[in-house]
Every structure is written in C-alpha cells, then in structure tokens.
Amino acid sequence: MFLFDTIGWQSWAMWFVVLGALIALNEVTRRWKWAGIAFFVALPLVLTVFVWPSTAGEGSSTGTWFHWVKVYSALAGCLGFMALRYVGRLSKNRWMLLFPALILAVNIGEAVIRDFQVAGLQGMHDGVFMVGGVWNYMNGIAGILNALTICGWVGIIVSRDRSKDMIWPDMLWFWIIAYDLWNFAYVYNCVGDHAFYAGAALLISCTIPAFFLKKGAWLQHRAHTLALWMMFTMAVPTFVTSSQFAVESSHDERALFVVSALSLAANVAVAVYQVRVIVTRRLNPLKDELFTHLRPYREVLEANAPLADAPGAGREDQPLAAV
C-alpha cells in the first residue's frame, strides 16, 4: 500500500476496536464527572508510579521526552477543561478561557519541534524508524500556521445540558480538518510505524464525536482521546511496534511528501481565509470571535448556550450564512 505495508484482517479488526473504545471512553468521561476523575487523575497516578517507569523507559519507542511531555500535557488539558466545566465562575473568567487555546498551542508546538528534529534523522532512533526530509519542514510550517489560526477562545462556553461540555463555537470544521491533516502528517513523519493507530484511528475518534455526537466540543474530545491513547501506549508500547496487530509505515518518501503537502496546503488555505475574514469584517483575532456570521457557528451556539447568551441576546445577530 502507498501509506502502509500490508494490513492484515486482524489489524483492521483491531483498528475498529481501538476507534470504538476511544469514542466510547470519551463519551463516558465527558458525561460523568466521576469517570473523568477516575481516568484522568487516579489512573495516571497509578501508572506514573507503578507502570510507566518500566514500560516507557530509555530505549522504549515511547520513552522519549516527547511522549512523556505529551501524556502529561494531554492530562493537563483534560483537568483544566474539567475545572472550567465544573467550577462555575471559571467559565466566566477571561484568563481561564485563554487556557484551552494555550494548551492546544503548546501541544502543537511540541509536535512542530519534533518534526524539525526528525528532518535530519535517518534510520532507527528511540526505537522508531525515521526517514527525515523536506516533508518535516513542510509539516512543521503547517503546524505553525495551525497554531496561529487558533481563534475565538473568548466565546468558549459550558453547555447547558447535563454533561456540561466545553463548547468552542468558533472552532469550525475547516480548522479541525486542517488540524487532522497536519497531525496525521506529523505522526506519519515522526513515528510512522504508529500512524495506523495513533494517526488515523486516534484522530478519527475525536472528529466523529465533534461532527456527529457533540458538536462544538472538538478540543475536549481531542484531549480525552489523546490522553487515553497516550496512557495506553506508554503502558503497552509493543502494541504498535511488535504485536500481531502492529502495522508498519511504507517509509515511502513519496507518501511522506504527499501527506505533508496536503497538510501544508490545507493550513495555508485556512490561514488565507481567516486573514480575509479578519480584514473584511474588521475584527481583532485576540479579542473577537471570527465566524459568528457562519451557519455552523450559529447552530452550535443555539444548541448549547445558556438562554442569556443565545443569538440575539448579547452576541452578534446576523443572518445565517452557509459555509
């Protein structure tokens, strides 16, 4: 295959098991506070003390600085979002509303640094086979653009239903798709033999809920599924490297170039569109929500905002426009 070596039926079956498990656990941890505390506080403490020192140590494919930073930054995101969701006053604090954007930008920045590092590497490094090249620089630039186009955090709200989800109306489908393309390219470039699961299954596991189960909560879905996956792979690193379910990357330079080119093109397009919106609508991206005129934004707000914040009651009330 173009992206991967031969994928056996058992690997395809496990791919769907991983996808289903991540979606299901995300639903459990977002709907019930006790589940979030169990998975994102109690479980990591146990794993940190008793499991990860032996399974994610030096020489392991998950024993690099990046994996340790990634798991704890994902957990920090989950806990920060829980605080915003369940401590009422925090959702009205403008500095707390900046936290989701910052933790997202930090996570993107970690990956951008790693992409640039891998650009000069060839062969086995940290237990992973790497083929560095210009594609790493292309995708690193795409990641920078993706971080720079994070917008509208001032409009983050907590949904009015029982699950109290963190809703970000200005984070619309085109930015999410650009992020998915960038993040898949990052995983494919830097840990290619993990990409079948950590690239495709993991990204789809948060995109499906964002599009079909709870719109507007993509970042919350992403934090939950990423933390769950990172905890699992650091505890069982052989799952993606040497188990019967493992799928190796093709390590084809053409594939590496294509996925990074798609990532860069998508993020350039989003950046150009966002600049156009900022200029034509005379908005400040550090203070304003940018896409209040678009139908997907309005639909998310109408479905989740407290009545006092609904369209026509404190936010810009303009005719719906399709996008």
Give me the sign of the Cα torsion angle 143, 186, 213, 92.
negative
Report the half-sphere exposure of 305 (CA within 13 A, side-chain side): 20
- What is the pLDDT at residue 40? 96
With bands split at pLDDT 50, 70 and 90, how would you rate the model's confidence at 91?
A: confident
Q: Which of 202-211, 232-241, 267-276 has the lowest mean pLDDT?
A: 232-241
Integer Cα distance of 214 and 75 in angstroms: 21
With bands split at pLDDT 50, 70 and 90, how would you rate the model's confidence at 323?
A: very low
Report the half-sphere exposure of 243 (CA within 13 A, side-chain side): 13
Is residue 307 over pLDDT 80?
A: no
- What is the pLDDT at residue 183? 97
Q: Is 27 helix (H, G, I), strand (E, B) or coil?
A: helix
Q: Which of 44-48, 92-96, 231-235 has the lowest mean pLDDT?
A: 92-96
**Percent of the chain topping pLDDT 90:** 75
Instruction: From 197, 123, 209, 203, select the one nearest 163 (Cα to Cα).
Output: 209
The more confidently predicted of residues 182 and 123 is 182
Q: Which of 115-129, 210-224, 236-250, 293-307 has the lowest mean pLDDT?
A: 115-129
**Residues 55 and 236 sit within 8 Å (Cβ to Cβ):** yes
Determine phi and psi for 246, rounding to 5 degrees.
-65, 145
Altogether, the residues listed in the chain come to a count of 323
Integer Cα distance of 85 and 95 in angstroms: 14
- What is the pLDDT at residue 95? 87
Is residue 38 over pLDDT 60?
A: yes
Predicted structure pTM score: 0.91
Integer Cα distance of 39 and 130 in angstroms: 32
Integer Cα distance of 306 and 157 in angstroms: 9
With bands split at pLDDT 50, 70 and 90, how would you rate the model's confidence at 61?
A: low
Is residue 147 over pLDDT 90?
A: yes
- What is the pLDDT at residue 318? 43
